[in-house]
Chains A and B, each alone.
Chain A
Amino acid sequence: MAELPVLEMRNITKAFPGILANDSISLDLRKGEVHALLGENGAGKTTLMNILFGIYKPDKGDILMEGQRISISSPHNALKYGIGMVQQHFTVVPSFTVAENVVLGLKEMGFFVKTKTVESSIKKLGESYDLPVNPRARVWTLSVGEKQRIEILKLLYTGAKIIILDEPTAVLTPQETEVLFKAIRKLVSEGSSVIFISHKLDEVLQISDRVTVLRGGRFVGTEEIGSIDRRSLVRMMVGRDVLLDFDKPKTEPGKIVLEVEKLTVKNDKNLEAVRDLSLNIRSGEILGIAGVAGNGQRELAEAIYGLRKPIRGTVRLNDKKLGSSDIAQRIEEGVAFIPQDRRALATCPSLSITENMFMKNAHSNYIPQSPFNVNIRAMQKATEELVRSYSISTPSTKTPSRFLSGGNLQKLVLARELSTKPCLIIAEHPTRGLDIGAMEFVYRTLLAHKERGAAVLLLAGELYEIFRLSDRVAVIYEGEIMGYTPPDPKFTEEIGFMMAGSRQGEIA
């Protein structure tokens, strides 16, 4: 008889406004195993774990610990159950020492802090788990890998038996990753269980015993690592449910609109996210970029739009070199950008729909206005028309945009970006979080603009979306283009291999 799982999550459902982040997801964790949670960004991994750690409350579903139903109301409460989580962003105080940081996490600190005893037990704890730290070092002097060790030690010190690591290797060097993996193995050999969140296939295959794959907020499956190969994992992760109803308008690609040459861009962690990348898109053509999220797609889009200054390389639009961070110039020249993060980047939450619709008007000149006498009535009227033609459902054009649902907000962004008939459209995950109806609308709109002669750069996670829209598919891995394929589902496997880091031509 199989041993009772240490922890079980049953049919967990959690919705955020406009997004179903977790749709009836189940997961069971055995004692002494490393359980990987695999999926792309936005698949719902972090949400699920935040529920387990008591940060969010599930809308539906149960959490069972050794067969008993429990309710986790807060992270502190989770720690009481022995569940600890290391977040992607560390929660350490830089000016404190390692020991002081560990003490901070304790509830039963008392009035006088016995730092001496804590120091020696941290040292012992660190040595026994192969996580060496100097308990007296100030945290700001430590490397990222060492800070992460402190986070893990903090949890071990409080007696956590279930440790959740949220993309722990994203910030580590390969050497630090090895140290972390050694510690993880030690942990599970002593009876702890580890949930390892990742979207990197190799690591998952290397470290975990079992893997649960999520896609788009839904449960895809749980497999033993021994019984599954890389290829099947790729399929589970990116999905095979390609919609085959092709109704792509046939357009003859025209002249080159966008030309990116040897572009190198750094990400927020100051690492090179895009490396020496070159590509071009012709008028009337959609280039789809496929890749596992976090491989430089966002940085590429932001650099082309001028939000992120590249270290090297040039961006040309219709044979004209664009300034490295001149967004106003791009808007004037007809570059539209539909960013993934529409709430934080593309809209002003407290401003009205009209104001959001005309956010770029100073440069896009959708309705030419004198800067000293803005015609509010004309803007109001134009907005009402756009609200109608893009079927944005809203009580009025004066409603603040934060009250719009995800789909309607995306329609607002589309209306603003596309009403000016741009020559280049950068679309980053344009259907993320949308329902089927809104998705269809986005597809039809993008295809109509392609037919009109716009060049479109489509960065999407879902392969079927890329197949459905693009004329060519480029696969990106660690900031480089691994190869191109036609937009046909029969290339899914080839694309999968390239997404995992193989170059075209290397695949046997």
Chain B
Amino acid sequence: MRMKIEKRLTVPKYSSILVPILSVAVALFLMGIILLIFFFGREGNLSIAFRETLEAYKEMLTWPFANKYGIFSTLMRMVPLAFVGLGLSFAYRMKIWNIGGEGQLYMGALAATWGALYLFKDVTSPVLMILLISILGAAAGGIWALIPALMKAFAKTDEIVVTLMLNYVAIFWVDYLVYGPWKDPKGYGFPGTAPFPDQARLATLFNGEFHIGFFIAVALAILLYYVYKRTRWGMNSKIVGDNAQAARYSGISIIKYTIIALVVSGAIAGLGGAVQMMGIQHRLQHGFSPGYGYTAIIVAWLAKLNPIAILLVAFLFGGLLVGNDQLQMFYKLPMALISVFQGLVLFSLLGGEAIARYRLRVSREEAVTNE
């Protein structure tokens, strides 16, 4: 008798739900071990460390979802994740790997600030102002993605490297502006611009705990769901993603589809940046995003690029970010731990997907030997 690991012909349906859930569970478990080591190092006593770990876990997993303040914070953290995740899904469907969500988000925020404080400063109607800023933010994100798009379409450069590098360019550009020419003179030396005028702020609910950017994200997810399922673009982009040769054979212009996919992807992320400025930040600041653009990659993957699922996963990850804030405040845990956790989720997700493609077979056939 011998055991053999072999490739499955079909990946079973249930694995698309089981793998994400299991991978988050595995990541939580591994994270627990890390927390335990961390507390043990601090307390020097294993049973106290164990209790601390459990409590920290409870805090991290319940606070963001169990009370009003927690849920509102979670929803507000979810909005940028959802925007960028939705944007990324648009390119990932065609197997175009836009890793530049963070940079496109920054460029959207930068353009929104430019619009609010300089370009449209004479506009008084809030509706017009918000519309103009949204368009400007989306355009900026789109243009930021147009650079790798043109390079990929015409020079066959790798979009992963170019989009990733452009993130740093965008972040440093924002830093230059907020430390330099756009720095608020009344800001006590703090690296940020002057606050947005009132007409450039999104309407809020529940005493300002919640802004309507959430509804824009939900509407966008529904729109994208329709686009993916029911339009020619949605069907053709599936063909390009599955077999680019067959797409060309079907008369689909790969160049056109590549450019549009990346630009729209960047524009949605850019819109996310503008919404973030108008909704919560109300000023451009150094490091305003704790890596939303990177976390969104995991969000899009876990959601299998389904727009509605992206909303749900973004909500969960928003909760993780809020939970991490709690841990930081009450347990004096380092900020980097949440990055560790996200890395663990991604690793177990990718590992889980690879494992799901195989199965273990036990056979009674004698092993064939060569000698």
Interface residue ranges, A against B (CB under 8 Å): 70-73, 77, 307, 327-328, 330-331, 337, 339, 344-351, 355, 358-360, 362-363, 369, 371-374, 376, 403
Residue on A with the closest CB to B232?
A371
Contact B243 A348 (CB under 8 A): yes
A-B CB contact pairs (8 Å), 15 listed: A70-B370, A77-B370, A307-B249, A331-B251, A344-B246, A347-B243, A348-B242, A349-B243, A350-B242, A351-B238, A351-B242, A362-B232, A372-B232, A374-B234, A376-B229
Contact A348 B248 (CB under 8 A): no
User: Measured between alpha carbons, how far is A374 from B250 in the docked complex, in Å?
Assistant: 17
Cβ distance B54 to chain A, nearest Cβ, rounded Å = 44
Cβ distance B264 to chain A, nearest Cβ, rounded Å = 15
Cβ distance A94 to chain B, nearest Cβ, rounded Å = 18
Residues of B within 8 A of A372 (CB): 231-232
Residue on B with the closest CB to A332?
B251
Cβ distance B174 to chain A, nearest Cβ, rounded Å = 37
Contact B242 A346 (CB under 8 A): no
User: Measured between alpha carbons, how far is A73 from B250 in the docked complex, in Å?
Assistant: 41
Residues of B within 8 A of A345 (CB): 245-246, 249
User: Measured between alpha carbons, how far is A369 from B248 in the docked complex, in Å?
Assistant: 20
Contact A355 B243 (CB under 8 A): no
Q: Does B203 contact A (CB under 8 A)?
A: no
Q: Mark B238-269, 1 if CB is under 8 A from A, else 0.
A: 11001101101111110000000000000000
Cβ distance B228 to chain A, nearest Cβ, rounded Å = 11
CB-CB nearest 7 A-B residue pairs: A328-B251, A371-B232, A348-B242, A327-B251, A348-B243, A363-B251, A359-B250
Interface residues of B in 347-371 (CB under 8 A from A): 368-370
Residues of A within 8 A of B251 (CB): 327-328, 330-331, 360, 362-363
Contact B249 A374 (CB under 8 A): no
Residues of A within 8 A of B253 (CB): 328
The verdict on A344 contacting B243 (CB below 8 Å), with A307-B249, A363-B251 known, is yes
Cβ distance A298 to chain B, nearest Cβ, rounded Å = 14
User: Measured between alpha carbons, how far is A346 from B250 in the docked complex, in Å?
Assistant: 8
Residues of A within 8 A of B243 (CB): 344, 347-349
Q: Does B233 contact A (CB under 8 A)?
A: yes
Q: Which of B230, B233, B236, B243 counts the most A-chain CB atoms under 10 A from its CB?
A: B243
Residues of A within 8 A of B370 (CB): 70-73, 77
Q: Does B235 contact A (CB under 8 A)?
A: yes
Residues of A within 8 A of B230 (CB): 373-374, 376
Residue on A with the closest CB to B233?
A371
Residues of B within 8 A of A327 (CB): 248-251
Contact among B10, B239, B369 for A348, CB-based, below 8 A: B239
Cβ distance A413 to chain B, nearest Cβ, rounded Å = 10
Given A344-B245, A349-B242, 11 extra CB contacts under 8 A: A71-B370, A307-B248, A307-B249, A327-B249, A327-B250, A331-B251, A346-B246, A362-B232, A363-B251, A372-B232, A374-B234
User: Measured between alpha carbons, how far is A379 from B232 in the docked complex, in Å?
Assistant: 13
User: Measured between alpha carbons, how far is A73 from B369 in the docked complex, in Å?
Assistant: 9
Residue on B with the closest CB to A347?
B246
Contact B246 A371 (CB under 8 A): no
The verdict on A355 contacting B235 (CB below 8 Å), with A77-B370, A348-B242, A349-B242 known, is yes
User: Measured between alpha carbons, how far is A96 from B259 in the docked complex, in Å?
Assistant: 37
The verdict on A71 contacting B231 (CB below 8 Å), with A344-B243, A355-B239, A360-B250 known, is no
Cβ distance B240 to chain A, nearest Cβ, rounded Å = 9
Contact among A337, A351, A374 for B232, CB-based, below 8 A: A374
Cβ distance A340 to chain B, nearest Cβ, rounded Å = 12
Residue on B with the closest CB to A358?
B235
User: Measured between alpha carbons, how far is A73 from B371 in the docked complex, in Å?
Assistant: 11
Contact B232 A369 (CB under 8 A): yes
Cβ distance B171 to chain A, nearest Cβ, rounded Å = 34
Residue on A with the closest CB to B244?
A348
User: Measured between alpha carbons, how far is A350 from B95 in the docked complex, in Å?
Assistant: 14
Residues of B within 8 A of A344 (CB): 243, 245-246
Residues of B within 8 A of A360 (CB): 250-251
Residues of B within 8 A of A337 (CB): 249
Residues of B within 8 A of A358 (CB): 235
Cβ distance B361 to chain A, nearest Cβ, rounded Å = 16
Residues of B within 8 A of A351 (CB): 238-239, 242
Residues of B within 8 A of A339 (CB): 249
User: Measured between alpha carbons, how far is A359 from B235 in the docked complex, in Å?
Assistant: 8
Residues of A within 8 A of B236 (CB): 362
Q: Mark B211-240, 1 if CB is under 8 A from A, else 0.
A: 000000000000000000111111110110
Contact A359 B239 (CB under 8 A): yes
User: Measured between alpha carbons, how far is A339 from B249 in the docked complex, in Å?
Assistant: 10
Residues of B within 8 A of A373 (CB): 230-231
Residues of B within 8 A of A349 (CB): 242-243
Residues of B within 8 A of A359 (CB): 239, 246, 250
User: Measured between alpha carbons, how far is A330 from B251 in the docked complex, in Å?
Assistant: 8
User: Measured between alpha carbons, how far is A337 from B248 in the docked complex, in Å?
Assistant: 13
Contact A374 B231 (CB under 8 A): yes
User: Measured between alpha carbons, how far is A372 from B248 in the docked complex, in Å?
Assistant: 21
Residue on B with the closest CB to A70?
B370
The verdict on A371 contacting B231 (CB below 8 Å), with A73-B370, A327-B251, A345-B249 known, is yes
Residue on B with the closest CB to A373?
B230
Interface residues of B in 294-340 (CB under 8 A from A): none
Residues of A within 8 A of B252 (CB): 328, 362
User: Measured between alpha carbons, how far is A72 from B246 in the docked complex, in Å?
Assistant: 37
User: Measured between alpha carbons, how far is A358 from B246 in the docked complex, in Å?
Assistant: 12
Cβ distance B271 to chain A, nearest Cβ, rounded Å = 21
Contact A71 B368 (CB under 8 A): yes
Cβ distance B347 to chain A, nearest Cβ, rounded Å = 25
Cβ distance B231 to chain A, nearest Cβ, rounded Å = 5
User: Measured between alpha carbons, how far is A347 from B368 in the docked complex, in Å?
Assistant: 37
Cβ distance B366 to chain A, nearest Cβ, rounded Å = 12
Residues of A within 8 A of B235 (CB): 355, 358, 374
User: Measured between alpha carbons, how far is A346 from B249 in the docked complex, in Å?
Assistant: 7
